[in-house]
Chains A and B, each alone.
Chain A
Amino acid sequence: QQQVKQSPQSLIVQKGGISIINCAYENTAFDYFPWYQQFPGKGPALLIAIRPDVSEKKEGRFTISFNKSAKQFSLHIMDSQPGDSATYFCAASAKSSGDKLTFGTGTRLAVRP
């Protein structure tokens, strides 16, 4: 019930295109859904996060879409750039479980110039 399923495992997008990464969860107690970006040799960096009281959150070129009834959320990267090439992890946590994050398996994004 703690699992977060992420797809696709890898993604290749042309510069300027839209990158879309999807996640699904089972635990209805989850109340915080962040996305992390990780470059090789670095720790995960918080990119954007959403709580279930809103269906969408946008920060610059990054948007989270959240569907509470379907228990799904996704990351959209608009106008993808080569500098966005990294591994992206979705995650979820519940205040009732001490806010500890459960991570998805990651999506390796490559943006071709």
Chain B
Amino acid sequence: EAGVAQSPRYKIIEKRQSVAFWCNPISGHATLYWYQQILGQGPKLLIQFQNNGVVDDSQLPKDRFSAERLKGVDSTLKIQPAKLEDSAVYLCASSLAWAGAIYFGEGSWLTVV
């Protein structure tokens, strides 16, 4: 079974530029999450989707971050404009709607200079 796919794996941008990350969840997983992991810390939830709809985006900095999940499958996370403190790993994860087990992709590493 294929895992959660993410791209790009690495991105370096200048502050105030924009960046987009793509995620393809495990087939059949209705719930999709984006987490931010700053070096040396645990992942922090940014947004959770259930199929096409947003379940929780309370910790998403909406002035600069946006996310969408079209057709209930793939998702994109966009940052515009980026700040230095956005340097982190952006982890996509997915789960079956009814289960607790959440599976992570390998992450997209963002460096803002």
Residues of A near any B CB (own CB < 8 A): 6, 31-32, 34, 36, 41-46, 49, 51, 89, 91, 93, 95, 97-106
Contact = CB atoms under 8 A, between A and B. Distances in A.
A107 to B, nearest CB: 10
A46 B3 CA distance: 12
A34 B101 CA distance: 8
Given A34-B100, A43-B107, A101 B41 contact: no
A95 B102 CA distance: 13
Interface in B40-65: 40-45, 48, 50, 55-56
B72 interface: no
Interface residues of B, number: 25
Contacts of B48: 98, 100
B91 interface: yes
Contacts of A100: 33, 45, 48, 55-56
B67 to A, nearest CB: 14
Central interface residue in B42, B91, B104, by most chain A CB within 10 Å? B42
Contacts of B22: none
Contacts of B43: 44, 89, 101, 103
Contacts of B42: 6, 89, 91, 103-106
Given A98-B55, A103-B43, A106-B42, A44 B104 contact: yes
A42 to B, nearest CB: 6
B31 interface: yes
B41 to A, nearest CB: 7
A41 B44 CA distance: 17
Contacts of A91: 42
Contact of A43 (B31, B45, B101, B106): B106
Contacts of B93: 43
B24 interface: no
Nearest to B108: A43
Interface in B64-113: 91, 93, 95, 99-107
11 contacts: A31-B100, A43-B4, A51-B100, A98-B31, A99-B31, A100-B48, A101-B43, A101-B45, A103-B43, A105-B41, A106-B41
